[in-house]
Structure 1
Amino acid sequence: MSMSGFEGQCSNDEIRERRSDIENSEDERRQSRIGTLKKKAMNASSRFTHSLKKRGKRKIDYRVPSVSIEDVRDAREETAVHELRQKLVERGSLPPRHDDYHTLLRFLKARDFNIEKTIQMWEEMLTWRKEYGTDTILEDFEFGELEEVLQYYPQGYHGVDKEGRPVYIERLGKAHPSRLMHITTIDRYLNYHVQEFERTLQEKFPACSIAAKRQISSTTTILDVQGLGMKNFSRTAANLLSAVTKIDSSYYPETLHQMYIVNAGSGFKKMLWPATQKFLDSKTIAKIQILDSKSLYKLLEVIDSSQLPDFLGGSCTCAAEGGCLRSNKGPWNDPDIMKLVHNEEATFVRQITRMPNGQHTFDSFQMHPLKERCSDTSTAESGSDMNDYSSPNRHRSCPYPHLAPVHEEVNLEPLNLIYLRSLILVFTSMHITCGCVLRF
């Protein structure tokens, strides 16, 4: 081989080596960049996960699937809630655990959207909760006499209606207040009543919302007056009902969707009900249906037979649990659903705002703990920044696990169940004392 040929071959080998070195260097730089990006992604993911855990104050179980809940809001109501919220913040009267859109809305509705009256009602509620120890009553109070109490005051939650609301049932005609007070006291029963209201807000409503995939914030109530008479009325009963009336109307407003007074005889419909209506406004009356024993089938129009006790015309007996009013049947007993209730990061809320012209505008669809609704009530904007936790447009979250009642389609005046019961008992005693024979 000639010298020139040898030099040419060497030159080609050197070129290939340089190219190889360049390619290797590029690969190394590429791998380095990929490694850097992976590291940044992992760090970002770690920070994001840490921020979620810090916000939720509990470990996130990623094995729990997410569920979508639809939240429909009214644009004018949003404006009112925002105004109320700003005023409460200025007064220092909005603790983080109560910084909740739908809770504020309930109190506004209870005071006909009068801001000043709502503020007064709100601050009285905060004072009462502090004095009563309401925030920890689920953990602090134990009502060991419940089974005996149910013998003389049959009542409880059982199943859901066809729209997913929990069904609450009371057999008022089977209540024996004097015997009840041999088992418990008025103070202990009031503690139990408050505890059950808190349990409904924090567990039953969220569980029903998950099962129905829409916000559930109110109950369908059935009041059974069969057998109602003088035995159901006493001074003790009046004192108890008066105390419960104060609690329900002042501190838990706007939680009733519809009431059915069932097994009402001719005496109730002809005498007691007309007299009672004089103390109720027209919107409240619109929430109440009176059904005699032959009209119980109408309950099946709103409640499936499998969710309705047999003594009300349904097919459920809950024989294994000792009867329907002892079973506490409902989505809140489903372990899979309750995992979602207690897992703060497992719920997506699709918020929709209803405009005055009737149109719906899509606001956001984002990861949002079901039991946390501590948000700025200004209308959100559509866009990707709704999912950005650092975005100023994103709703602010708070650590308190609480589901507040939300906007319902039926916008009626609040009805106080206990007040109605009181009226029924009072008029019953009056008519019986006067010698009138009533058939219930």
Structure 2
Amino acid sequence: MGCTSCATGANGQPKGCKNNGTCGTDGCNKLTVFDWLSNMSLPGNQEPFSAVEVRFKNGRKHFYQNPDKLSLSIGDTVATEASPGHDIGMVTLTGELVRVQMKKKKEPINIEALPKIYRKATQKDIDVWQKCRDREADIQKRSREIAIRLGLKMKLSDIEFQGDGSKAIFYYTADERVDFRQLIKEFARTFNTRIEMKQIGLRQEAARLGGIGSCGRELCCSTWLTDFRSVNTSAARYQQLSLNPQKLAGQCGKLKCCLNYELDTYLEALEEFPKTDVKLKTEKGNAYCQKTDIFKGLMWFVYEKDGMNWHTLKVEKVNEIIALNKKGKTVASLEEFIEDVSVSNEKLFSDAVGQDSLTRFDKPKRSKSSRRKKSKRSRNKQGNKSNTKNTAKKSSNSKGGNSNKKRRPKQKPKNNA
């Protein structure tokens, strides 16, 4: 969060700025720019730069002139010039930093050639703009159905209405050229507005739609990345990454832009490493490289006749051997230059955050022997229970039989005489 109004409130709950997705200081918006010149005053006898940067839906930005010298600040909603009609956008940058942005984007600094800002948006302008924005989801669904019915091989990814509702821009991606003349007629007849089609690339589509990357954060192209540099598979090779397209590709289906972030550092570190196809000449035979470790500065070599035993050498030692070989000298063996790598007993990873195992909810698998023991125990318990029940029944029957019998009086013995 970029502003203090998004801080934590009472009882640890988020405070929130109550702007319904529009940050008052423009610190939480998409592709925002920090105005580091806002607290600095201009030198004397210099007028402020009258151009303004305005943002529209999904990070689309343009520069406009302020001919009426309106007092604009970051976050103001303004009505800008468009063809035809006007458009509604939000001011994202003012002052001298706009000049810097125009130089960065290689746009000519000619204020008079820029489109104009008419006024600050009124409540009526905002209501019309909001109604048009509410129609976009339904129109996008219906437009896709029309494109499928016409059999066009294209994907309509996003729709953007102009602020006054006089025009709708349809953004689409396609692998081949698409003849959408009939499609435009269908759209104009169905939606009763002016239609404009714009083809964008897969990276631009991901930037407009947004999402969460494999790192767990929002996509760089939809938050702060403004230019798309070409990414090659050589960037993954230099960084010794596995050439797995499922891991290297982003949500756009292309190689991830973050592969270029650390590429310069890797290239600088690889300048000290010799080429992997260089063979080391020794009296035991030639040795070739099997593996390199850029972080530790180590290389592993094996003899041609003994490929199972790997020898660990530092980069400095390898360069020394190569220099001797260039002079026509051969070293005795690689064992003289082996670097002893000590492995520390420290844990490489400690559970500092208190993370649990992923299989904590899974029931552990029991072996066959434990199952057999458990079955024997259950059988023995059942047998013991049945024996105790039988003995209890017998005892109760014996006691009950004696109690139920009537006591007969003792008969006196008869005298025979």
TM-score, scaled relative to structure 2: 0.26
Q: Which has the higher helix share?
A: 1
The structure number with the bigger radius of gyration is 2
Higher strand share: 2
Question: Which structure's relative contact order is higher, taking Cα pairs within 8 Å and 6+ residues apart?
Answer: 1
